[in-house]
Amino acid sequence: MKVVTGVVGNDIHVVANRLIDLSLQARGYEVFNLGVNTHLEEFFDAAVETGAEVLMISSLNGEAEGWGREVKLLKAKYKNLDDLIMMIGGNLVVGSGNTEDIVARYKKYGFDLVCHQVDLNTGLDLLQDLLEERCKS
Amino acid sequence: MSLLQEEREIILSNEYVDAFDFDEVAEFVSNASKELFISHHFKKREKMLVQPRGGFPTYQQQYALYEFFVDANVDVLPLTIDSNTRLNDYGTAKKMLRLSEENDMDMLNGYPLVTHGYRTTRKMITHFNKPVSLRHGTPDARLLIETAIASGIFEIEGGPITYLLPYSKNFPLDKAFLYWKYVERVCANYSELNEPINRESFGPLTATLVPPSITIVIQLLEMLLSLEEGVKSFSVSFAQQGSMNQDIVTGAVIRKLVKHYAAEIDCADAAINLVYHQWMGAFPTNKDFAEQLINLSTVIASMVGADKIITKTREEATGIPTKEANAKTVADTQYCLRILNGLPSVVDEEEEEMLTLEVKAIMEAVFNDPADTLWRKVFNSIKNGVIDVPFSPHIINQNQMITIRDANKNIRIIERGNVPIPDRCYEFEKAQCDLSKDTTSIVNDIIHDIGIMQW
């Protein structure tokens, strides 16, 4: 299973990005890590180029909120990305906010899985559940 | 006219520079007070020099900060540069400085030195008559260091590796080497006029589980790149690692090896100093705990025998520290140093031997690279992972090495990647750790090991 991952925007927080990479590999995924400071176009380009099934975006400084609004518009420009599983996690707002509202907002932006301030392994378990569910159907 | 001078004239003919007067600057450096040169203070070796951190947008704020520091009995003043200037965006720095001056609100996270210019800044530096250290993070620091030296700032921190790998994703590393070559040459040339300009490397790197072998190798290489251009005073540095014993071993090994490698390129006459950074990782939010941590750092710096210590503040976890918090740290650190007497001497021969073998093996691999110049050898070694910095965001870094803490909180290498750690040392490192765990629990351990000082 191929996963493209990276930190969105002008965010240089690299520690979690490295740990996501390590954890995904430990679970048997083939990881294409674009690192920090990655723009949305680069994520989608990489998903097309690698034929990844999952796109996992992370954010720590909260600027994902700004980028999130553009996801649907941009994704529509690409062909063959309809089945791509879109996941986002980390700290998804600047300041603080109600988790339920945040999750609802990001689902509207086009994400299938939203992990706001969720522990890394819990998030990866959720991904596994979703993948198994898709397999069945 | 030399090529270097031609390049200098291009760099300094810039719309943001107000008529740079080369002759006047050279005359100023020649006649500058010895007190302004940190190399002069290092030579006296009277005490460990205490240097805080700090930079504010306006001249008045920076001046007020220095007044606080002097009252707290500071040894070395810092000048920390704002992020726009660091990225050579002088236009934005200028606009943000105006906004800061007009609105009584800080729109910059440091002092925009190029925007203030050397004529203005020099007034402040010569008024306080203390050595000033330039702290930045700039890959292309050519204009910045010209302005700094012309202002009376005679210590320049940074280097092509240590100011790039922790801070940037894709600034080209080869360009950084060439821009820093210019910096070294300008520092070397000015050093002939008075006391030497001191260059300092930034040893903390990512401050995230960097093993001492990698830190020392990078310190040695930046020292060699500087000395080969003619710099006569250089400081290697590292930050508190989390284990007192590992810090003492690191200090002993780096001290021994700087002499060895400087002599190898016939630069044994250069003065090499050791700088220790108080904990550079995540701080506790509890301000009283933060002070305990700062105090512990000072004790370890004394055990290490550092020539200078760079301080943190009790407000580290909460944002840009106030001048009051900054000055308090200076006074506290000076007090702690004054009462630290009769320190025992700790030597761990086995650890020293292992670390020395690791550093020498990596250095040998760098020197054996077929490229024709040292900077190209180093460039290739970073590219192919002979040098690998844990948690560097830069695309050129291999990110193959994995490190973790052992039971005594020493940083250990459990996956060496392409770094030529000798087998014997690698087995020794791994033998200190519990490797029977699965990757998920190791990742959890790493998260805990990074935040070791927060709880």
pLDDT recorded at residue B346: 96
Mean pLDDT of the B417-442 span: 94
pLDDT tens across B17-44, in order? Answer: 989 999 999 999 999 999 999 999 999 9
State phi, psi for B309 to the nearest 5 degrees: -125, 140
Verify whether the Cβ–Cβ distance A37 to B169 is below 8 Å.
yes
Nearest alpha carbon to residue B75 among B437, B333, B345, B325: B333
In a 10 Å sphere around its CB, with 0-12 CB exposed, 13-18 middle and 19+ buried, how is residue B31 labelled? exposed
In a 10 Å sphere around its CB, with 0-12 CB exposed, 13-18 middle and 19+ buried, how is residue B127 labelled? exposed
pLDDT recorded at residue B1: 83
Quote the CA–CA distance of B145 and B123 in Å, as a whole number: 17
Of residues B169, B390, B440, nearest to A121 (C-beta): B440
Q: In which order are the strands placed within the sheet that holds A30-33? A: A30-33, A2-7, A54-59, A85-90, A113-116
Residue of B nearest to A121 (CA): B440
Query: How many percent of chain B have pLDDT more than 70?
Result: 100
CATH number assigned to the domain comprising residue A9: 3.40.50.280
State phi, psi for A47 to the nearest 5 degrees: -65, -40
* pLDDT above 80 for B109: yes
Quote the CA–CA distance of A109 and A95 in Å, as a whole number: 20
State phi, psi for A87 to the nearest 5 degrees: -125, 145
- Residues in chain A with CB shorter than 8 Å from the CB of B208 are 15
Mean pLDDT of the B169-174 span: 96
State phi, psi for B211 to the nearest 5 degrees: -75, 150
Mean pLDDT of the B217-238 span: 98
Mean pLDDT of the B154-168 span: 96
Quote the CA–CA distance of B137 and A28 in Å, as a whole number: 38
Q: Is A21 a catalytic residue?
A: no
pLDDT recorded at residue A64: 87
Of residues B206, B392, B443, nearest to A22 (C-beta): B443
Q: Is A39 a catalytic residue?
A: no
pLDDT recorded at residue A9: 87
| Domain span at A19 | 2-136
Grouping H, G, I as helix, E, B as strand and the rest as coil, residue B112 is: coil
- Residues in chain B with CB shorter than 8 Å from the CB of A19 are 443, 446-447
Mean pLDDT of the B93-109 span: 90
Average pLDDT, chain B: 96
- Chain B nearest CA to A12, separation (Å): 7
pLDDT class of A136 with cuts at 50, 70, 90: confident
Average pLDDT, chain A: 92
Contacts of B444 (CB under 8 A, 6+ apart): A121
Verify whether the Cβ–Cβ distance B439 to A14 is below 8 Å.
no
pLDDT recorded at residue A60: 84
In a 10 Å sphere around its CB, with 0-12 CB exposed, 13-18 middle and 19+ buried, how is residue A26 labelled? middle
pLDDT recorded at residue A12: 82
* pLDDT above 80 for B455: no
pLDDT recorded at residue B260: 98
- Chain B nearest CA to A108, separation (Å): 31
Verify whether the Cβ–Cβ distance A26 to B440 is below 8 Å.
yes
- Chain B nearest CA to A17, separation (Å): 9
pLDDT tens across B295-326, in order? Answer: 999 999 999 999 999 999 999 888 788 999 99
pLDDT class of B422 with cuts at 50, 70, 90: very high
Please indicate whether residue B426 or residue A70 has the higher confidence score (pLDDT). B426
pLDDT recorded at residue A93: 85
Q: Which of B8, B53, B86, B199 is catalytic?
A: B86
Inter-residue contact B318 to B285 (CB < 8 Å):
yes
* pLDDT above 90 for A63: no
Quote the CA–CA distance of B166 and A52 in Å, as a whole number: 29
In a 10 Å sphere around its CB, with 0-12 CB exposed, 13-18 middle and 19+ buried, how is residue B355 labelled? buried
* pLDDT above 90 for B152: yes
Quote the CA–CA distance of A34 and B34 in Å, as a whole number: 50
Verify whether the Cβ–Cβ distance A36 to B206 is below 8 Å.
no
Inter-residue contact A41 to A71 (CB < 8 Å):
no
Dig out the tokens for B223 from the structure.
């020292």
Query: How many percent of chain A have pLDDT more than 90?
Result: 77
* pLDDT above 80 for B291: yes
Tally the domains of chain A. Answer: 1
pLDDT recorded at residue A62: 79
Inter-residue contact A33 to A43 (CB < 8 Å):
no
Quote the CA–CA distance of B237 and B219 in Å, as a whole number: 7
Grouping H, G, I as helix, E, B as strand and the rest as coil, residue B313 is: coil
Cα angle B200-B201-B202, degrees, rounded to a multiple of 5? 120
- Residues in chain B with CB shorter than 8 Å from the CB of A12 are 167, 169, 393
Nearest alpha carbon to residue B381 among B416, B420, B346, B349: B420
Of residues B169, B444, B446, nearest to A35 (C-beta): B169
pLDDT tens across A106-135, in order? Answer: 999 999 999 999 999 999 999 999 999 998
pLDDT class of B439 with cuts at 50, 70, 90: confident
- Chain B nearest CA to A16, separation (Å): 9
Compute how many other C-beta atoms are within 10 angstroms of the C-beta atom of residue B105.
9
Mean pLDDT of the B199-225 span: 98
pLDDT recorded at residue B401: 97
Q: B3-339 has which fold?
A: TIM Barrel (3.20.20)
Residues of A with CB under 8 A from a CB of B: 12, 14-15, 18-19, 21-23, 25-26, 35-37, 120-121
* pLDDT above 90 for B112: yes
Dig out the tokens for B267 from the structure.
């630069």
State phi, psi for B155 to the nearest 5 degrees: -130, 130
Inter-residue contact B178 to B43 (CB < 8 Å):
no
Quote the CA–CA distance of B392 and B405 in Å, as a whole number: 18
Residue of A nearest to B208 (CA): A15
Asked casually if ipTM beats, i.e. exceeds, 0.90, the reply is no
Cβ pairs A/B, distance under 8 A: 42
- Residues in chain A with CB shorter than 8 Å from the CB of B391 are 14-15, 18
* pLDDT above 90 for B97: yes
Query: Which of A7, A8, A13, A22 to probe by mutation at the B interface, max B CB count within 10 Å?
Result: A22
Verify whether the Cβ–Cβ distance B443 to A19 is below 8 Å.
yes
* pLDDT above 80 for A95: no
- Residues in chain B with CB shorter than 8 Å from the CB of A25 are 439
Q: Which of B155, B157, B315, B316 is catalytic?
A: B157
Residue of A nearest to B392 (CA): A14
* pLDDT above 90 for B12: yes
